[in-house]
Chain A
């Protein structure tokens, strides 16, 4: 298993990529206005975290792997519920632009 032997090097780059992906996700959530795109950015954040877990689990043991499986299951459940909710708002407003979803003003 060469990957394990080069662990430290690969670990650093994997964590860096994960941090970059996560930041991209956060930026997307904050900047984009389409609910579907925002949701995709959230999924990107979750998958960035998954990458971290996988990279760390090489050295730290199985808990990281287990966590990734759970995160995937949870993300699937969230997607099912989230898309249904976005459908519901579309039926009311005929748009999924978050700037137009403003009946309740903060």
Chain B
């Protein structure tokens, strides 16, 4: 059974929003703390540690609610209380925790002195939580904007770097542009169905037979354009490589992992929950988005020599894989999504963590060739990087393989064999840029006697990389428990088929 929450009374509402309220409260405390102490690196460390405490306690609250199986008494509300919310919230929080841990050493090393950095990370995380918990388009929109506006600032947080400023301008203009499309889509959905609530929208569509209503279809199209920008799906991806390239590396990792995951979570909830009756239409569109994204992302990544840009394009390719799971339009696909996003968060943060340890001054000049000889000079770091690369590739024995296998099986179950074939082919192509990283580390001698002498994982970053690598291997050989959890996270997301099939 579990804990039933009555959201119509204030106490119930507080309980339903407990993770978000806790994190917002803690963010305010942190804001006061950095307003009071922001003079030197010590103060910044303190801010980072406070942020960690807030994120970890919020994660514990989310897990507690999940274990107690907290659910709503009534069906219609603005806040969802289901496994999908808890699973995705936990993933965002894990991502944010790892990002803060990476930043603890990074900001000091790059002499970026802006303790408000951590406040913004917390705010962005609150936005993500709202995106996965919103059962109403108003809440999802506010979450999306809260997250995006915070990330615009974070992308440009290194004020002495022209690259960082340029990344911020590009991200801001294209992000706001995408918000416009998203919003127009919402307006048309509201116009077609008369509601912004996801559950009611589903009921309206099925009871009034609006499945192919023109206004609704235009709304779905615009919504997909908006989300397409946010998840960097081709052809809406042109901002992503530049922005990922110019932003400080921990923020790049945050954008590539958690921000993308949050946009996907909201997309899946809207499509599977509210618009499931029109799935014939949107699975077609998402199918094509996914196919082009996989192909373009992977092919362009092949041509990259800079490691950071290569990882940026690789993350576009991964958006294609996740879109394939979305295109399946089933709970099976949502389960694959939850598992894949967890794995993807770990491997992306890990890979960027290693990159941050190798590079200096924004890591823009680290080329794949610069990794030569890392295997003998820094064996543990090279081993971890190998795990991340193989997992990103989807090599058997790593968690990336299980994730891809789940996506594949959901795609095949939805009878989209072409997409499955493309996914496998794209993975084969991706070997062409992941394996050279491994080969450079182990098979080529170091360029000079003292190369990699500065490459050092310090303090918390060592934990991030180590834990991510170990978890990826563990989930690769022993995925059953995590798959059960993912299945629990996807359960009940798609409303029971009440509609009458006319075709």
Q: Looking at the complex, which of B28-36, B186-194, B327-335, B465-473 is the stretch in contact with chain A?
A: B186-194
CA gap between A60 and B173 in the complex, in Å: 32
Tell me the minimal C-beta distance from B494 to chain A in angstroms. 24
CA gap between A42 and B145 in the complex, in Å: 14
Give which listed residue, B176, B191, B242, contacts A56 with CB less than 8 A. B191
The answer to whether B173 touches A63, judged by C-beta atoms less than 8 angstroms apart, is no
The answer to whether B180 touches A45, judged by C-beta atoms less than 8 angstroms apart, is yes
Q: Is B141's beta carbon under 8 Å from chain A?
A: yes
List, in ascending order, chain B residues with CB within 8 A of A15's CB.
Answer: 191
Q: Looking at the complex, which of B49-57, B99-107, B156-164 is the stretch in contact with chain A?
A: B156-164
Q: Is B246's beta carbon under 8 Å from chain A?
A: yes
Q: Is B112's beta carbon under 8 Å from chain A?
A: no
**Could you give, for residues 88-106 of chain A, a 1 whenever the CB lies within 8 Å of some chain B CB and a 0 otherwise?**
1101110000100111111
Tell me the minimal C-beta distance from A35 to chain B in angstroms. 6
The answer to whether B142 touches A85, judged by C-beta atoms less than 8 angstroms apart, is no
* Residues of chain B at interface, number, CB under 8 A: 38
CA gap between A61 and B165 in the complex, in Å: 42
Task: Name which residue of chain B comes closest to A102, CB basis.
Answer: B166
The answer to whether A45 touches B238, judged by C-beta atoms less than 8 angstroms apart, is no
Tell me the minimal C-beta distance from A11 to chain B in angstroms. 9
Please classify the interface of chain A as helix (H, G, I), strand (E, B), loop, or mixed, using the class held by over half of its residues. helix
List, in ascending order, chain B residues with CB within 8 A of A98's CB.
Answer: 169, 173
Tell me the minimal C-beta distance from B502 to chain A in angstroms. 26
The answer to whether A81 touches B246, judged by C-beta atoms less than 8 angstroms apart, is no
The answer to whether B187 touches A85, judged by C-beta atoms less than 8 angstroms apart, is no
CA gap between A15 and B192 in the complex, in Å: 12
The answer to whether B180 touches A52, judged by C-beta atoms less than 8 angstroms apart, is no
List, in ascending order, chain B residues with CB within 8 A of A85's CB.
Answer: 152-153, 156, 165, 168-169, 172
> How many A-B contacts if CB must be within 8 Å?
123
The answer to whether A45 touches B195, judged by C-beta atoms less than 8 angstroms apart, is no
Tell me the minimal C-beta distance from A14 to chain B in angstroms. 11
The answer to whether B142 touches A74, judged by C-beta atoms less than 8 angstroms apart, is yes
Q: Is B259's beta carbon under 8 Å from chain A?
A: no
CB-CB under 8 A for A29 and B177, given A52-B187, A104-B167: yes
Tell me the minimal C-beta distance from B322 to chain A in angstroms. 22
The answer to whether B187 touches A39, judged by C-beta atoms less than 8 angstroms apart, is no
List, in ascending order, chain B residues with CB within 8 A of A39's CB.
Answer: 173, 176
Question: For residues 193 through 210 of chain B, which have their beta carbon under 8 Å from a beta carbon of chain A?
Answer: 194-196
Give which listed residue, B142, B169, B188, B245, contacts A89 with CB less than 8 A. B169
CB-CB under 8 A for A53 and B149, given A67-B196, A82-B176: no
CA gap between A56 and B188 in the complex, in Å: 9
The answer to whether A101 touches B172, judged by C-beta atoms less than 8 angstroms apart, is no
CA gap between A98 and B239 in the complex, in Å: 13
**Could you give, for residues 245-256 of chain B, a 1 whenever the CB lies within 8 Å of some chain A CB and a 0 otherwise?**
110000000000
**Could you give, for residues 363-391 of chain B, a 1 whenever the CB lies within 8 Å of some chain A CB and a 0 otherwise?**
00000000000000000000000000000
CA gap between A25 and B173 in the complex, in Å: 13
CB-CB under 8 A for A56 and B187, given A29-B177, A49-B180, A85-B165: yes
The answer to whether B173 touches A104, judged by C-beta atoms less than 8 angstroms apart, is no
Q: Is B455's beta carbon under 8 Å from chain A?
A: no
**Could you give, for residues 13-53 of chain A, a 1 whenever the CB lies within 8 Å of some chain B CB and a 0 otherwise?**
00100000010011001000001001100100110110011
List, in ascending order, chain A residues with CB within 8 A of B422's CB.
Answer: none
CA gap between A84 and B169 in the complex, in Å: 10
CB-CB under 8 A for A82 and B138, given A52-B184, A53-B187, A104-B163: no
CA gap between A71 and B142 in the complex, in Å: 9
Give which listed residue, A38, A52, A74, A84, contacts B191 with CB less than 8 A. A52
The answer to whether A93 touches B162, judged by C-beta atoms less than 8 angstroms apart, is yes
Tell me the minimal C-beta distance from B174 to chain A in angstroms. 9
Q: Is B241's beta carbon under 8 Å from chain A?
A: yes
The answer to whether A88 touches B138, judged by C-beta atoms less than 8 angstroms apart, is no
CB-CB under 8 A for A88 and B159, given A49-B187, A81-B152: yes
List, in ascending order, chain A residues with CB within 8 A of B183's CB.
Answer: 45-46, 49, 71
**Could you give, for residues 317-332 of chain B, a 1 whenever the CB lies within 8 Å of some chain A CB and a 0 otherwise?**
0000000000000000
The answer to whether B184 touches A45, judged by C-beta atoms less than 8 angstroms apart, is yes
The answer to whether B138 touches A25, judged by C-beta atoms less than 8 angstroms apart, is no
List, in ascending order, chain B residues with CB within 8 A of A91's CB.
Answer: 165
The answer to whether A88 touches B156, judged by C-beta atoms less than 8 angstroms apart, is yes
Give which listed residue, B167, B176, B179, B194, contacts A61 with CB less than 8 A. B194
List, in ascending order, chain B residues with CB within 8 A of A26's CB.
Answer: 180
The answer to whether B241 touches A106, judged by C-beta atoms less than 8 angstroms apart, is yes
Task: Name which residue of chain B comes closest to A93, CB basis.
Answer: B162
Give which listed residue, A22, A38, A102, A106, contacts B184 with CB less than 8 A. A22
**Could you give, for residues 348-373 of chain B, a 1 whenever the CB lies within 8 Å of some chain A CB and a 0 otherwise?**
00000000000000000000000000
Chain A residues engaging chain B, CB cutoff 8 angstroms: 15, 22, 25-26, 29, 35, 38-39, 42, 45-46, 48-49, 52-53, 56, 60-61, 63-64, 66-67, 70-71, 74, 77-78, 81-82, 84-86, 88-89, 91-93, 98, 101-106
Residue contacts A-B, CB under 8 angstroms, 23 given? A15-B191, A22-B180, A25-B180, A29-B173, A35-B169, A38-B173, A42-B173, A45-B180, A53-B190, A56-B187, A60-B190, A70-B141, A74-B145, A74-B179, A88-B168, A88-B169, A89-B166, A93-B162, A98-B173, A103-B163, A103-B166, A103-B246, A105-B242
User: Which 5 A-B residue pairings sit nearest by Cβ, starting from the closest?
Assistant: A45-B180, A104-B242, A92-B162, A52-B187, A60-B194
14 additional contacts (CB under 8 A) given A29-B173, A81-B149: A15-B191, A35-B169, A42-B173, A52-B184, A66-B138, A74-B179, A81-B152, A81-B172, A82-B152, A85-B168, A88-B156, A89-B162, A104-B167, A104-B170
